[in-house]
Amino acid sequence: MERSKKFLIPILGGLIWVLATGCLGTAAPAVSPSVPTAAATEAEGQPTVAVVMKNQTSGPVRITGTMNYTNEFVTETYYVEHAVMLTEMTGFVLRDKEWEIPVESQVLGYLKMDEAGNSGTYTLDLPIIPQGTFTDVDQSGTYNNGVQIFAVGYEPNLTGSPFAVGDDREMGWPSYLASVKTDSENQDEVIGGKLLVWSADEGEQFPSGFGDDGLLFTADDPVVPVSAGYTMVNLDKDPFEFIRDEELVMDLHEPQDIAIKDYSADTYTEAFNKMLEVIRKEYAFNGVPGKDPNYDQLVADFYPRIEEAEKDMDADAYFSALLDFVLTFKDGHVSVDGGDRGMGIIYEHIYYGYGLAVRELDNGDVIVTYVTPGEAAANAGVSLGDQIISINEVPVKQAIDTVVSVIGPYSTDFGERWDKVRFLFRAKNMGDEIELVYQSSSGSEETDTLIATYETDSFFANSPYKFYNPVALPVEFELLDSGIGYIRMNSNYDDLNLALRLFERALKAFEANEVTGVIIDLRENSGGTNLGVAGFFTDQEIPMGQLAYYSEKTGQFEPEGIPGKVLPNQNQYRFNKLVTLVNLTCYSACELEAYGLSQVPGMQVIGTFPTAGVEAETARGEFLMPADITLRFPTGRFTLEDGTILIEGKGVQPTIKVPVDRTTVFEEDAVLRVAEEYILK
């Protein structure tokens, strides 16, 4: 479904990745008087097909319709300027997913959203003469003027003009919340729904069925004449139904594979079995070495716990079983959300601690970086910089190895290691004891017994989200005292229009102030949708990964859509030096953003860690389970030309790595310091 900037990430995981080619629509000739057609006549080389043209009038003038959706992130998070658009289907006729829909042919309609009801209603008034592209689809072998063919699709505004133009262009043909239904496993072939056809003359031919091959606009289509003006074609009838009411109804459809899989009314075991049946086939990393789940073993390990929870009607036990189930995956996109119940169970692993937090340095040393005043470690005399030697007579590195973190799973070893270190000094119960051996800053070796108390400050002291602001704008920017321009992309899961406008506003301000360089901070950005801001800094296309999904037809993962690209933006900005800041809290679409920026000539990527290495597409893998629990699994994988997986399990690597040592762990922001030094030197 890789068609346009607007719907690539909301549905698939990327935005500005498609090639902008195509041609503009041609002007339409004057309309001949409408003469109702009662039945089909025999076209050249085609059998006679009886088709009733319902409700012959002077022609349609307005379209109305509704849309209903289950996945809310597109319509309620990413977009706030909603509309529908009469969208040319020429790209589909040509089977060209890179065909750019000309702005001249676009007609917008008002869409009233009902977010509480996950629905919308629209009205679209038709122009007297549409300005679309004429296509000859009668399969006669003789050139005719042809007809203009349209669908109606959800078309919110991303940036710039309300129309799909410029950096917000539209490619191919619609398949998400559109009046046509498409087959995602067969190149988005149109398989049903409704089209709108406009003919300048009487007698132009249009298909009345899919033909023996089941495909529209191919050589075996039976065809019939259509009246001049507009005609709605109902593709769900056999033969097609042609309707000319003055007001037409063309509802918009959410693709079945995008819809949330709702098993909430099933029993615990029924829902688990249904979910497992889907992911056995569709999980994005099935068959990938090191990530391929052993489903038979998972069933053996967890199904008895699911059955026990169902027998006891114990929702807490059900959530705990599902939590342990997802923790077996080596994939940061796999998750379980149990609401307040789930957070309560997870917090049981966090509540009790010994009043200290540590960091593991690049050289393997584990040193104290935080001590909670008045708690066990402080009372024993543990100080900042002390080096941990052992816990309960187990060398500290081995002790870290045995820690289990409940806030996983993880796609990378370094991501998991970070949280193992954070959980090292958490206790199961109030009053638990440990024997701690450490080397003090004076060089002496000390041994103390620490007793766990209720305290969480030490757990959050080393959170990688130390700069997180829950009320921040998606993009913030400032001029640093050093004269460097600084942009912080807090989130890609927000109002996309606002995020892009703020980002370009920053670039304009920096350009006007002749900054010495620009720093783009992607740390603590947990993803959402890739905006492709790298396109502001280069006039060259940046190749991205090819998205692939499991196909029921072939039993394998198959490419969907065209290979991804970041396209150059129309407005270009140049600065002497460019830096992108990353760490292991840059997830998912943030990593696509980082990858695109890393390909900009001259860009330096700076961080103590790579990005999280968590890259896949999750829109098709959301499951509503009993007890108000939600499971998520990625179902789309990104691959490079050589077939290797893009980013997942590796992350975007720094070109300048900031060391984790006794100096940097106590700095407020060593990474930002190194970035400024690089630009100023």
Tell me: the pLDDT tens digits for 348-367? 999 999 999 999 999 999 99
Tell me: the pLDDT tens digits for 281-314? 999 999 999 999 999 999 999 999 999 999 999 9
Q: What is the dihedral of CA 645, 648, 649, 655, to 10 degrees?
A: 100
Q: Which residues have CB under 8 Å from 221's CB, separation 6+? A: 137, 139, 207, 208, 209, 210, 211
Q: Classify each residue of 657-671 as buried b or exposed e, where b means 16 or more C-beta atoms within 10 Å of its C-beta.
A: bbebbeebbeeebbb
- The DSSP line for 464-482 is TTTT--TT--SEEEEE-TT
Q: Which residues have CB under 8 Å from 450's CB, separation 6+? A: 354, 355, 376, 377, 380, 433, 434, 436
Place of tokens 């507009």: 230
Q: Which residues have CB under 8 Å from 437's CB, separation 6+? A: 388, 389, 390, 391, 393, 445, 446, 447
Q: How confident is the model at residue 55 (pLDDT cuts 50, 70, 90)?
A: low
Say how far residue 548 (Cα) sits from the centre of its chain. Answer: 14
Is the backbone peptide bond immediately before 568 cis, with ω within 30 degrees of 0? no
pLDDT at site 642: 84
pLDDT above 60: residue 52: no
Residues 443-451, mean pLDDT to the nearest whole number: 96
pLDDT at site 619: 86
pLDDT at site 57: 59
- Which domains, ranges and CATH numbers included, belong to the chain? 58-249 (no CATH), 352-461 (2.30.42.10), 475-680 (3.90.226.10)
pLDDT at site 17: 27
Q: How confident is the model at residue 13 (pLDDT cuts 50, 70, 90)?
A: very low
pTM above 0.85, yes or no: yes
Amino acid letter at 130? Answer: P
Tell me: the pLDDT tens digits for 462-474? 999 988 898 999 9
Structure tokens at 544: 């991205």
Tell me: the pLDDT tens digits for 622-639? 999 999 999 999 999 999
Residues 143-171, mean pLDDT to the nearest whole number: 91
Tell me: the pLDDT tens digits for 385-418? 999 999 999 999 999 999 999 999 999 999 999 9
Q: How confident is the model at residue 53 (pLDDT cuts 50, 70, 90)?
A: low
* Bigger pLDDT: 46 vs 378: 378
Whether the Cβ atoms of residue 551 and residue 185 lie closer than 8 Å to each other: yes
Whether the Cβ atoms of residue 133 and residue 90 lie closer than 8 Å to each other: yes
Q: How confident is the model at residue 523 (pLDDT cuts 50, 70, 90)?
A: very high
Lowest mean pLDDT among 29-43, 73-87, 528-542: 29-43
Q: Rounded to the nearest 5°, which phi and psi values hold at 371?
A: -130, 125
Cα 509 to Cα 167, 274, 486, 570, 573: the distances in Å are: 20, 53, 11, 17, 11
pLDDT at site 54: 60
Residue 217 to residue 427: CA distance in whole angstroms: 66
Average confidence score pLDDT of the chain:
90
Q: Find the length of the chain.
A: 681
Residue 54 to residue 45: CA distance in whole angstroms: 26
pLDDT above 90: residue 127: yes
CB-neighbour burial class of residue 449 (10 A; exposed 0-12, middle 13-18, buried 19+): exposed
Rg of the chain on CA atoms, in Å: 29
Whether the Cβ atoms of residue 21 and residue 101 lie closer than 8 Å to each other: no
Helices 295-312 and 315-326 meet at what angle, rounded to 10? 170
pLDDT above 60: residue 249: yes
pLDDT above 50: residue 16: no
99 DSSP assignment = B
